[in-house]
Structure 1
Amino acid sequence: MELPVRLIAILLVALAGSSFLGGCDRQKADAPQAPTQEVKAATGVDRSHKGQPAPTVQFKNPDGGDIDLGKFKGGPVLVNLWASWCAPCIKELPTLQTLEQSQTEDGKLGVIAISQDMAPQGSVEAFLAERDIGRFAAFHDAEMKLTEELGIQIMPTTILYGSDGKEIWRFVGDLDWTGEQARALLAEAR
């Protein structure tokens, strides 16, 4: 018996919605979902990758061409990995856009958000525009190569790279990027 396409879509949305607590846990399909307490304990600042170079895997720039994080070397850059199915990601995107706009004026820190959605790039642009955060450039990693290469398990995860292209820290989970905690962390950009 074949299920109608609409019913399959509803089931997929319901299944994806079950991971919206504290951060979006990215685990293998056959692994059990971690309890909420464990996910929350894993969020916050992680300095265990300090000094590691940015990966060279390619993703799509807003024009659809290939790019990698090496393009941003030479100045500090804040890289946010997010997905449209991740509620904490959606919650923090407007604060990232505000940060990006203020940094564009100051020119001190690059800020990019890279979608980890498997949908076509045009759907990422539409998603951002529908939520009035369409000024954000729609970088897109449909194959989720960055999450794999960086060992990301929870989205959103945001990584600060120094001007030398090496990781300074990563923040696991959502954060108000216009708040005091973010300002203190971003003061480490060099």
Structure 2
Amino acid sequence: MLLESDMRFVIALILLVLTGCDKETPAEGQAQPASAENSAAAGKADIILESAHGARATLSYKFAGQKAPTAPFADANGQDVTLADFEGKPLLLNIWATWCAPCKAEMPTLDALAKLEKDRMAVIAVSQDLEGRAPVLAFFKETKVKNLVPYTDADNAILTAFNNAIALPTTILYDSAGKEVWRIAGGVEWDDAEMAKLLRAAD
């Protein structure tokens, strides 16, 4: 017979499995609450987005004004970089993995967006594959992704830098000062006209 404490553990484990492709343990003290200047945006209710193909995602302003984490990840040459290296213009950060079906489904349109927006904003996809670059390079070759750099985070440092659990894929828009504008949990079609309007919120 399971003890009450064991039952609570089992229930918590089931909930984690059901809520997304991946959930991570919250990190200690990295994320900051939304700033007062963005309190209006942070108070907006979450919005459900649905693509023409039936994919659903959630747009949230809950963390608007929060500074981007400083966790390091690797560039295409294996050198450490951080999100601060992209400050100076808007940044769209996509957190994904090759084993996550919704992540892979949105990658071609994210790649097209990276080409379209290259002069106005940075569009980066940081893989959480524990095997590093090998599966990412194979996937990019298979799907003809040419505009995204194969950034990798084999230690899952970015996920654990947030104080909340993040499901894959999650995409976060930062303004030129490195402050969050909004985030989307779930896969979307990045070449959609409505997405183009949302991206202008970082201007």
Q: Which deviates further from its counterpart, 53-62 or 118-127?
A: 118-127
In the alignment, what sits opposite 1:118?
130
Q: Is the 8 A contact 1:109 1:189 kept in 2?
A: no
1:147 to 143, 146, 159: 159
1:77 to 58, 82, 91: 91
How many residues are matched? 158
Q: TM-score, normalised by structure 1?
A: 0.76
Superposed, 1:8-157 pairs within 5 Å as: 24-26=21-23, 43-104=57-118, 107-150=119-162, 151-157=164-170
Q: Is the 8 A contact 1:23 1:86 kept in 2?
A: no
Q: Percent identity among equivalent residues?
A: 37
User: In 1, distance between residues paired with 2:20 and 2:104?
Assistant: 11
Q: TM-score, normalised by structure 2?
A: 0.72
- CA apart distance, 1:133: 1.3
SS in 2 for 1:169: strand
User: In 1, distance between residues paired with 2:165 and 2:129?
Assistant: 14
- What is the letter of the counterpart of residue 121 of structure 2? L
- What is the letter of the counterpart of residue 127 of structure 1? F
In the alignment, what sits opposite 2:178?
165
- CA apart distance, 1:88: 0.3
User: In 2, distance between residues paired with 1:119 and 1:134?
Assistant: 21
SS in 2 for 1:188: helix
